[in-house]
Structure 1
Amino acid sequence: MPFNHNDHYHPLLLRHLPPGPGRALDVGCGTGKFARRLAAAGLRVDGLDVSGVMVEAARAAGSPGPGKVEYRHADISAGPLPEAHYDFISCIASLHHVPFETVKSLREALTPGGVLVVLGLAKPSRPGDFARWLAAAPVNLLARLVVHFGERLNGGPEPRLRPPVKDDYPTMSEIRRESAALLPGSTIRPLLFWRYLLTYTQPPEHHPL
């Protein structure tokens, strides 16, 4: 598919960056496209992915600066993260690959005032969710056609690595319920292209448990 739904939302995620330079964690970094955008914004970035092939491809792509990116082949659910270490944590189409309770370690890894953003996939639960899913189909077709013809005019699509795909998603009701319990104060915004945006900001007075 030439139109990438996750890449489409990169600008939206970048709007949630906290002010000033800092350190970021990109969970499920893939080939590092979003990690490089964070580095271009001046952050020091740790890119983490469970696929060694993806990590090697990300390393080969380099980093645009001024921030630096370090990539690691690791499973985010397999070990602890440093507490109060990251000013920004992103999970792009990766949270459904691990137990949702993994967000607890992500929450504790945030500095006071730090931001967690999740671009996730979930099955619809409410009438509004189903309506949004149906509305996305014609828009998706139009976007695919535009990108397809644009790539043909520029010599054809570039080869793309495909990350591991998991088609078993939680429901939006489950995401809303578990977010309320594990990330109090978080917000969830349903999006087109079968995605949702979850945002959580660590309270300034938060102390790691």
Structure 2
Amino acid sequence: MPFEHNDHYHRLLLRHLPRECGAALDVGCGTGRFARRVAGLGIEVDAIDSSAEAIEEARVLTTQMAGDRIPRFRYANVAEIQLPKGRYDFISCLASIHHMPFGTVAALRDALAPGGVLVILGCYPEKTWLDWAWSLVAVPVNAAARLTAHVKDKLLRPTTAASGRVQMRAPVSRPTVPLPRIRQEAAVLLPGSRIRRLLFWRYLLVFRNSG
């Protein structure tokens, strides 16, 4: 597979899974790669996305999964539906919070069970000198990672594996809210949350429901 920034951070996000995690929600699941990974750990997973095409692709790809736990994919806009209160032990949002008002995190917060964890892998635009400095570091690392992934893809892909089917990619949009403002809003809506900047134009927000 080509190098994907979001996939690169899957293991980092999974480190924040609560020890006893029974139910999870993946918001903006796209074609469902992270939702399937969480479900593969034996966790009950709901996954939603506002792209009908992405949800259809997720369902097609999930037919290849083995085991009892298969994500339940749903076409829905999280900003327009009512999430069950206190339902989920783990909620993830990978590169999708910028597709909706940041205030949507309040609904995600309320959907957490006591002790539940919300993780957001977010995107932000380059607005400050610090943003540009991180970008300067990320560019050569990104190029090297993409080259490595390309070489591995060529070496590992069987020459006879040509189904003719092109896998779709989830819709993307450019982020507009700068990281300092995200920190300000998170301090109000997700008190006690932690945000740290990552490479590849991402940040990680972690919030634990201590209620």
Provide the rounded CA distance (Å) in 1 between the counterparts of 2:9 and 2:152: 19
- Please give the per-residue CA displacement for 1:126-165, whole angstroms capped at 9, x wherever unaligned: 5433211110000000001111111112348983312111
Structure 2 CA distance for aligned equivalents of residues 67 and 39 of structure 1: 6
CA contact under 8 A between 1:125 and 1:173: conserved in structure 2? Answer: no
Question: Counterparts of 1:152 and 1:19 in 2: how far apart (Å)?
Answer: 38
Residue number in structure 2 paired with 1:25:
25
Instruction: Find the counterpart in structure 2 of residue 120 from structure 1.
Output: 122
Q: What is the CA distance between 1:123 and its match in structure 2?
A: 1.9
Structure 1 position 124, deviation (Å): 3.6
Shifted more, 65-74 versus 188-197: the winner is 65-74
Cα distance in 2, alignment partners of residues 16 and 168 from structure 1: 25
Deviates more, 1:140-149 or 1:56-65: 56-65
| Partner residue in 1 for 2:183 | 176
Q: Is the 8 A contact 1:21 1:42 kept in 2?
A: no
Give the alignment's TM-score, normalised by structure 2.
0.91
**Could you say which residue in structure 1 is the equivalent of 2:15?**
15
Cα distance in 1 for partners of 2:194, 2:145 equals 27
Q: What is the CA deviation profile of residues 105-129 of structure 1, one whole-angstrom value per residue up to 9, with x for unaligned ones?
A: 0000000100000000002455433
Question: Does the 8 Å contact 1:52/1:73 carry over to 2?
Answer: yes
Query: Is this contact kept in 2: 1:180–1:186, CA < 8 A?
Result: yes
Secondary structure of the equivalent of 1:106?
helix
Q: 1:39 touches 1:64 (CA, 8 Å); kept in 2?
A: no
Native 8 Å contact 2:89 2:113 kept in 1: yes
Alignment of 1:62-141 (within 5 A): 62=62, 63-141=65-143
CA distance in 1, matches of 2:191, 2:71: 30
Distance 2:143 2:111 in 1: 39
Letter in 1 for 2:78: I
TM-score, scaled relative to structure 1: 0.92
Choose 152-161 or 31-40, whichever is displaced more: 152-161
Whether 1:164 and 2:171 are equivalent positions in the alignment is yes
Mean CA deviation greater in 110-119 or 127-136: 127-136
Residue identity matched to 1:137: V
Q: Does residue 5 of the first structure (1) align with residue 12 of the second (2)? A: no
Distance 1:70 1:122 in 2: 29
Which residue does the alignment assign to 1:45? 45
Counterpart code for 2:198: L
**Which blocks of at least 5 consecutive residues in structure 2 are unaligned?**
none
Q: 3-state SS of the aligned residue for 1:123?
A: coil
Q: Where does residue 59 of structure 2 map in the other structure?
A: 59
Q: How many residues align?
A: 204
What is the aligned-residue identity percentage?
51
Q: How does 1:142-153 map to 2 (within 5 A)?
A: 142-153=144-155
**Which amino acid in 2 is paired with 1:33?**
R
Which ranges of structure 1 fall in alignment gaps of 5 or more residues? none
Match of 1:195 in 2: 202
* Counterpart residue identity of residue 115, structure 1: V
